[in-house]
Amino acid sequence: MITAIHIIDTMKKWVEEKHPISPATWLDASLKINILRSEFDEKYFELESELAQEKAKLLSLEDMTVAKADTLIKADPRYLEMRKLGGKIKQIEEMVRIAKKYSSLKDEEYRTS
């Protein structure tokens, strides 16, 4: 089964190894990653909701301040997981933008040569 992580890891490996990547491959990979990114979005939203519920519970406790509740939430392992997912989502968004630009530049280069 192909996952967004598999595609990202493959592209990263090719870049590190200086393997030439065609504009069509960039676009194809970006399209697939963009489609598969929903797995990250769903998990991110679930974690965000869980942490918001946890914060609401904490704030209902006596002598709990917003700053203290925020600190406790940020210490939760789910918060770290949510942040990592957010980073992957941003990486995917940027990869799609770059692939579109790269492909259009290469296409223009091809047409003018």
In this predicted structure, what is the pLDDT of residue 51? Answer: 98
Which tens digit of pLDDT belongs to each residue from 6-41?
A: 988 998 999 999 998 888 888 888 889 888 888 899
Distance CA 86, CA 70 (A): 18
Cα 79–chain centre separation: 15
Q: How many CB atoms lie within 10 A of CB 84?
A: 13
Of residues 113 and 13, more confidently modeled: 13
The domain ranges of the chain are: 4-13+23-112
What confidence tier does 110 reach under pLDDT thresholds 50, 70, 90?
low
N-terminal to C-terminal alpha carbon distance within the chain: 39
